[in-house]
Structure 1
Amino acid sequence: MKFLPRLVRPADRPTPVDAPGWVARVRSGTLPPQEVRQFERWLAERDENRRDYDALVAQFLELDRLRSHPEIMALREEARQAPRGKRRLAIAAALGLLLTGAVAAVVALDLLPTSSEQRASVVTAYYETPEGKTSAIVLPDGSKVFLDASSALKASMGETTRRIELLSGRANFAVAKDRERPFVVMAGGQRIKALGTQFDVNLVERTVELTLMEGHVVVQGLKTKSDTASTVFMRPGYRLVAGDGNWTLAPVDLRNVSRWREGVLIFDEARLGDIVAEMNRYLPAKILIGTPAIAERRMSAVLRAGDVSTFLSAIDAMGVARWARVSDGEYRLLDIARERNLNARLR
């Protein structure tokens, strides 16, 4: 008689009784509502439960950080591309670089191929820049990324695809050619697919700005409840602005597009809200907008990144808004017309 394995539904799974079991279940991302309540009760039962759980989570976070180390990523990419006979040597080199003991054993499970070679390994790393600092990054596949200040992205390199998620801020991509693995950037609900090309992606409040310098890209808007999917095939010298269901494609002067990499910010009849959002990437003391009407006003300017005094002087001289320092050291933009009306009523 042949025995077949019983299919286990989520409701049939045994409830974890210790920290390792709950860590595994939570990290799997498959916790139904009833198990969430069981997990919360287990945490509240004993102080030791929470301490054990927090300690294990901290160890996994450290493992994730080590996996994302650029040198480890580069060596793992070499292991992926190496001939099968040399792959284990390349993997050993990656492990020996930073990891020892139990940590190396855990990461090795993620690196070594399965016997059937069917599971595609994915190498994931997170990159983030603080305010006022930019960063030049070389991804394991050879693609280059220039990450603006106060920006973050997640890069996942797999056997069949290269996927980047721009989480915040702006990045310039110079994509290494690899026809076997499309290079896809996800940003603000837009999917940007490229092969060998160079482009800027900028997240500004509710919109995504994509400027193409070289090559070709295909941009697809992901379906939402309020918007249908759209697709645009872009060519160099154009900028796509997508947000709130509206797409605008227009030619741009490529000589000024990437000046931000040199610390120069160029605005042409831009919304004041967008200008403030870009300036704040470089400022420890942020600029606040007093009323929504101010954010919709437009102006043109050429500014040095972080030069808040020139920016504030310009909006004051042009009559766009007034500004004041608030108690916590930040700057607040005030509506001139509103101030005049208020002063007139107080007289």
Structure 2
Amino acid sequence: MSGAQATARAAIRSAAAQWFNLERSGDMTVDDARRFREWLDMSGDHRLAYDRVARVWAIAGTAAEDPALRTAGAAIAEPDEVPAPPQRWRALAMAASLLLAVTIGWTALDSGLFGAGAPAPSEQQVFRTGTGQRTMITLPDKSVVTLDAETMVRLGDNAHERRVELLGGRAFFRVAKDPSRPFIVVAGDKSVRALGTAFEVSFDNGNMVVTLAEGKVRVAEAAPGSKPGNSADMVPGAQLVIGADHNWTMNRVDVEKETSWTDGRLIFMGDPLSDAIAEMNRYSDRKLVFKDGTIPAKDVVGVFKSGDVDGFVKALELNGTAHRVSASDSEILLSAN
């Protein structure tokens, strides 16, 4: 199996395990269920991976009924340790069993121990998130890619490099060190090259933004012909903005604020209201829309849970910035005060 095939296969089963865990947790919302069905229908490989996780879970559940395993598990607890509530123990046991199954059991499935192996996926695999959806992909080299809402990436690597193409949206990369194979993120005609580091890249309508949290990266632009294009080396805390007009601007930023979306938060510190609304709309099917189509030239300060458009609107009303005119399942209509 090639490196690209291994990357795609690991990413698919990582997503399958996340969907399986969410479905069993009882916390799956209507929107989650819709996105889950879309993910299943996206590829036969997705459905097969999900079925395999379910089979591993069933096998792990059968093994857990073995009296010897139950005795061994009881012996692990400390004598003076206060037991967690039963509901919490069930949740912890579910998560631990699933991790064990995915880590150990998948190898057995791939080897054909529990049935015939699946055909390998294509050399490159595309992953996409919808409105309000975030997902995390763990690659075979232990690098982790976190996709923001409304993001699409294409994964692929070879013996010489690890490669992710950001087709649109925003992603955060925590790269495992491997000096022999650099980690390259490509967006349009620009690339970000790293070895072991953590950084964010967004790409929208030809505009690219790179924010470096840890380590070092080099951003380069391909130029027509053999002439080298622009390039820049970045240090932690720097943000490079490259416009569709090819203008490059480097600034110092608050990395925690810029990457707060990875924790499900949106931090605004004097951001334009128009930018804040665009960010809030990214995570909600109910869009914030101004009555006259013109967003007031106001700034926003605050911390909000991504997707909490009602809380955001309430803050605007308390600050006297705008008020709610009407609301439906698809939008909240606002008017400037």
- Quick one: distance in 1 between partners of 2:164 and 2:237? 23
Q: CA deviation at 1:222?
A: 4.2
1:286–1:92 distance in 2 versus 1, CA, 3 Å: same
1:115 aligns to what?
none
TM-score (structure 2 length as normaliser): 0.58
Partner of 1:280: 281
- Please tell me whether residue 261 in structure 1 is matched to residue 255 in structure 2: no
**Aligned mates of 2:185, 2:291 — CA distance in 1:** 34
Deviations 1:161-213 (A, max 9, x none): 21112233322111111222221112355311111111112345663322111
Contact 2:108–2:114 (CA<8 Å) still a contact in 1?
no
Number of aligned residue pairs: 238
Distance 1:321 1:176, change over 3 A: same
Matched with 1:210 is 210
Compute the displacement of 1:290 (Å): 5.7
Query: What is the CA–CA distance in structure 2 between the aligned matches of 1:322 and 1:242, rounded to whole Å?
Result: 35
Query: Which residue of 1 is the match for residue 200 of structure 2?
Result: 200
Identity fraction in percent: 36
What is the CA–CA distance in structure 2 between the aligned matches of 1:155 and 1:325, rounded to whole Å? 43
Q: Matched residue of 1:155: which SS?
A: strand
Please give the per-residue CA displacement for 1:62-100, whole angstroms capped at 9, x wherever unaligned.
56658999x99xxxxxxxxxxxxxxxxxx9974748995
Report deviation, 1:312. Answer: 1.8
1:221 paired residue number: 221
Contact preservation (8 Å) 1:209, 1:242:
yes
Please give the alpha-carbon distance, in whole angstroms, between the structure 2 residues aligned to 1:168 and 1:278. Answer: 15
CA contact (8 A) 2:109 2:115 kept: no
- Greater shift, 92-101 or 239-248, is seen at 92-101
Residue 159 (structure 1) aligned with residue 148 (structure 2): no
Q: How does 1:59-78 map to 2 (within 5 A)?
A: 62=43
- C-alpha deviation, 1:319, in angstroms: 5.3
For residues 240-294 of structure 1, give each alpha carbon's deviation from its aligned partner in whole angstroms, at most 9, with x where no partner exists.
2222323221112234343322222112333433322321232121223566752
**Unpaired runs of 5+ in structure 2?**
1-41, 54-106
Cα separation, 2, equivalents of 1:194 and 1:301: 33
Counterpart CA distance in 1 for 2:325 and 2:300 is: 19
For 2:270 and 2:196, the matched residues in 1 are separated by: 32
CA apart distance, 1:219: 1.0
Q: Which runs of 5+ in 1 are unaligned?
A: 1-60, 73-90, 111-121, 337-347
CA RMSD, 1 decimal = 3.7
Residue 259 of structure 2 aligns with an amino acid whose one-letter code is S
The structure-2 alpha-carbon separation of the partners of 1:328 and 1:259, relative to structure 1 and needing over 3 Å to count, comes to closer
Name the SS of the counterpart of 1:196 in structure 2. coil
Corresponding position of 1:23:
none
* 2:131 partner SS: coil
Distance 1:156 1:331, change over 3 A: same
Aligned partners of 1:68 and 1:243: how far apart in 2? Answer: 39
Given that residues 204 and 274 in structure 1 are in contact (C-alpha distance below 8 angstroms), is that contact kept between their aligned partners in structure 2?
A: no
Give yes or no for contact 2:172–2:198 (8 Å, CA) kept in 1.
Answer: yes
Deviation, 1:333, is 4.4
Cα 1:179–1:250 shift into 2, 3 Å: same
- Give the distance between the partners of 2:266 and 2:248, measured in 1 at CA: 23
- Tell me: higher relative CO, structure 1 or 2? Use CA pairs within 8 A at least 6 residues apart: 2
Distance 1:139 1:275, change over 3 A: same
- Provide closer, same or farther for how the CA distance between residues 137 and 322 of structure 1 changes in structure 2, counting only shifts above 3 A: same
Aligned amino acid, residue 235 of structure 2:
R
What's the TM-score, normalizing by structure 1? Answer: 0.56
Kept in 1, the 8 Å contact 2:163–2:185? The answer is yes
Counterpart contact for 2:285–2:330, Cα < 8 Å: no
Residue 152 of structure 1: how far off its partner (Å):
2.7
